[in-house]
Amino acid sequence: MKKILFLTYFIFIYQNCFCWGFYAHQKINYYAVFLLPPEMLVLYKPNIQFLSEHAIDPDKRRYAIPEEGPRHYLDIDHYGKYPFDSLPRKWEDAVAKYSEDSLMQHGIVPWWIQIMQRRLVAAFKEKNEVKILKLSAEIGHYIADAHVPLHASSNHNGQLTDQKGIHGFWESRIPELLADNEWDFFIGKAEYIKNPLDFAWKRILESSAASDTVLRYEKELTQKFSPDQKYSYENRNGITVKQYSTAFSKAYNEMMKGMIERRMQQSIFAVASFWYTAWVDAGQPDLIKLTNKNFSEEDQKEFEALNNAWKSSDMIGRKETPNP
């Protein structure tokens, strides 16, 4: 019985922590605000809590609608070997070659970022505050996901190499352990991105190139730790939970030479730069003079529905639940 409880809670913790984990996504959107120019800060700073809280709406939507899942990743290794030239970078060309159904099966994150970017430009042109904020929060999520190495690998949770759990380990456990006290997120200014689609592809290819290291180092380190040392038990709200031990997490982070911190910093820079680029492309509207400033009842209902779906249902489609 006890064992079942441990397992249940271990799964529970990390089931809700994928795609950088809720914690890291919220931090990424939060810190991205500080990279913006003053003309944008007038809108983004007073709404920093919203942008941070709603960074995780796309993950919640994975519990509500089936087409959401593929927007968060790209199993690029499905298309051959690095740099995967056989996969056309433009959506229309990729659809012509592989069909939309087939593309959806292996993930579409770079193209989805492009769609969200166009929507954000349109929202700025409309001067629609609610839309700008919602789209900014959500595009931040997808951009950040594109920076996670295991979001660019079909072995996304180590399930093919007996490393189940590594997904949540890399993007949740380690940031939660180290980000607040040891990592630096004040990193300069947002920059204009000439070609957002190219930029997204570049980050996906970097993620893909890093995914081998992410997996290999965990395997190597596991040889040096007994299962007792690799995992620890912690009390959370009166419940004992099993997780990767602090010693194992720190040793892995050291072995990776700051990769996770660096990827988080790059995510923050990219999110701010996409926001800034959308604003520039919309003609730099005055963000003090916006319309539609209040969330409607419909907006509130949508947020509630997302929360309820996330709390009460199973994720639809691919799961990254570890089972160590």
What CA–CA distance (Å, rounded) separates 279 from 121? 6
Q: Is 263 in the site for Zn ion (CB under 5 A)?
A: no
Q: Is 61 in the site for Zn ion (CB under 5 A)?
A: no
Q: Is 320 in the site for Zn ion (CB under 5 A)?
A: no
Nearer to Zn ion by C-beta: 145 or 176? 145
Give me the DSSP letters along 67-126: GGGGGG---GGGG-STT-TTS-SSHHHHHHHH-HHHHHHH--HHHHHHHHHHHHHHHHHH
Residues 6+ apart with CB under 8 A from 263: 147, 148, 149, 207, 210
The half-sphere exposure of 307 on its side-chain side, counting CA atoms within 13 A, is 8
User: Directed axis angle between helix 259-281 and helix 129-146, to 10°?
Assistant: 150
Q: Is 315 in the site for Zn ion (CB under 5 A)?
A: no
Residues 6+ apart with CB under 8 A from 311: none
| Chain residues 135-154 in contact with Zn ion, contact rule CB under 5 A | 145
Q: Which stretch binds Zn ion (CB under 5 A): 3-11, 65-73, 176-184, 208-216?
A: 65-73
| Chain residues 72-131 in contact with Zn ion, contact rule CB under 5 A | 72
User: In whole angstroms, how close is the CB of 243 to Zn ion at the nearest point?
Assistant: 21
Counting residues that bind Zn ion (by CB under 5 A) gives 4
Nearer to Zn ion by C-beta: 57 or 218? 57
3-state secondary structure of 233: strand
User: In whole angstroms, how close is the CB of 142 to Zn ion at the nearest point?
Assistant: 7
Q: Is 218 in the site for Zn ion (CB under 5 A)?
A: no
Q: Is 171 in the site for Zn ion (CB under 5 A)?
A: no
Nearer to Zn ion by C-beta: 117 or 245? 117
Helix (H) or strand (E) holding 266: helix 259-281
Q: Which stretch binds Zn ion (CB under 5 A): 68-76, 97-105, 236-244, 314-322?
A: 68-76
Q: Could you tell me the CA-to-CA distances from 136 to 95, 111, 128, 161, 281 in Å, in that order?
A: 27, 16, 12, 36, 15
Helix (H) or strand (E) holding 50: helix 48-53
User: In whole angstroms, how close is the CB of 135 to Zn ion at the nearest point?
Assistant: 16
Binding mask 17-36 for Zn ion (x = CB under 5 A): --x-----------------
Ranges of beta strands (E only) in the chain are 231-236, 239-244
Nearer to Zn ion by C-beta: 155 or 245? 155
User: In whole angstroms, how close is the CB of 239 to Zn ion at the nearest point?
Assistant: 26
Residues in touch with Zn ion (CB under 5 A): 19, 59, 72, 145
